[in-house]
Amino acid sequence: MIEPTTIEELTQHVGDIGASDWRPVTQTDVDRFADATGDHQWIHTDVARARETPLGGTIAHGFYTLSLAPEMLGQLISFERFTFAMNYGLDRVRFTSPLPVGDSVRMLARVESVTERPGGADVAATLTFERAGGDRPVCVAQMLIRVQA
């Protein structure tokens, strides 16, 4: 895990920062996400109906995948030594292939830039979610994190 303490130290980590642990994608977790968001579209929640599709089963919501970012990024980099850090937003998000329930997912992270601003910096990171055995990412997102020194 990377634990920078200064903006200068943070800039030394531009580039790949690693891969999170693999996380199983369970129907229980997908159903809980559907309950939390109100998105009960059947391809995510109706196991029997989804089994009859070319996908062969239910798939995780794209936003479910994206919601794993804080947990997975937290395995790779800590901003705890800064006065504060917050999710500043997303610039580009693409859900490039389905994430079947029953598979596992992990996140690869790359710090693209650290842009200093008065009292802190904006960190741009590319997050790439991949499924075990998949040939394409399931999600690629550009995340912005604002840190205060």
Q: Which domains does the chain have, with CATH numbers?
A: 7-148 (3.10.129.10)
The per-residue pLDDT for 16 is 81
The per-residue pLDDT for 146 is 97
Instruction: Name the region of 119 (left: φ>0; alpha: ψ -120 to 50; beta: rest).
Output: left
Classify residue 84 as exposed, middle or buried by CB count within 10 Å of its CB (0-12, 13-18, 19+). exposed
Task: Tell me the β-bridge partners of 87.
Answer: 145
Selection from 8, 10, 149 nearest residue 78 by Cα: 10
pTM score of the predicted model: 0.94
The dihedral built from the CA positions of residue 69, 82, 76 and 92, taken in this order, carries a sign that is positive
* Proportion of the chain in helix, strand, coil states, percent, rounded to 5: 25, 40, 35
pLDDT one digit per residue (tens) for the chain, 149 residues = 999 999 999 999 999 899 999 999 999 999 999 999 999 999 999 999 999 999 999 999 999 999 999 999 999 999 999 999 999 999 999 999 999 999 999 999 999 999 999 999 999 999 999 999 999 999 999 999 999 99
Integer Cα distance of 74 and 145 in angstroms: 13
Nearest-Å Rg of the Cα atoms of the chain is 17
